[in-house]
Amino acid sequence: MTLGQARKDWEDNTASAPKTVERGEYKKWTEDHDFRRFGEALAWLDWNDGIIEIKKLETLNPGNGGPSRLLKFLQSIADKYGLRISAWIVAYSPDPPIPEGKLLTQQELENWYARRGFQIKRNPCGGAFGWYPTAPKE
């Protein structure tokens, strides 16, 4: 039940901000992303098996600290309920509308997560995976 309680805490303190994204180069199709807004940042999360997975994390205003505050709040939920957070750490262009300002590079993004207590495991094919507070035992 702790995962359900953690999700309720998240939803009670965030606002729904879904995005419908157009995909496909030749045959167009849409995909719904169930983002929630916390201040000046958005997160799309998945809640499974005692893990809060960050599917996407986006800023609405680069350089204002919104994603840091969102992540700190999410970490407080994970700590409160004894849960783990995972994130596939890959720099990407945000889904529209795209905020104005400098977005982080891949290395800057990995460093950003590491400074916030995530254990980072690099993927040889690109990107990295992050775990908070610890990575699972292999």
Per-position pLDDT tens, the chain of length 138: 699 999 999 999 999 999 877 766 776 766 788 999 999 999 999 999 889 999 999 999 888 999 999 999 999 999 999 999 999 999 887 777 777 778 889 999 999 999 999 999 988 887 799 999 998 886
Angle at 60 between CA 126 and CA 35, to 5 degrees: 75
Residue at 97 is within a domain: yes
Q: What residue numbers bound the domain in which 108 lies?
A: 2-132
Q: Where are the alpha helices (DSSP H) in 13-105?
A: 66-81
> Residue 134 is which amino acid?
T
- Tell me whether residue 137 is in a domain: no
In a domain, 138, yes or no: no
24: CATH: 3.40.630
Residue 6 lies in a domain: yes
Q: Is residue 89 part of a domain?
A: yes
Residue 76 forms part of a structural domain: yes
- For the chain, how many structural domains are there in total? 1
Q: Which residues pair with 44 in a beta bridge?
A: 56
Prediction pTM value: 0.88
Tell me whether residue 126 is in a domain. Answer: yes
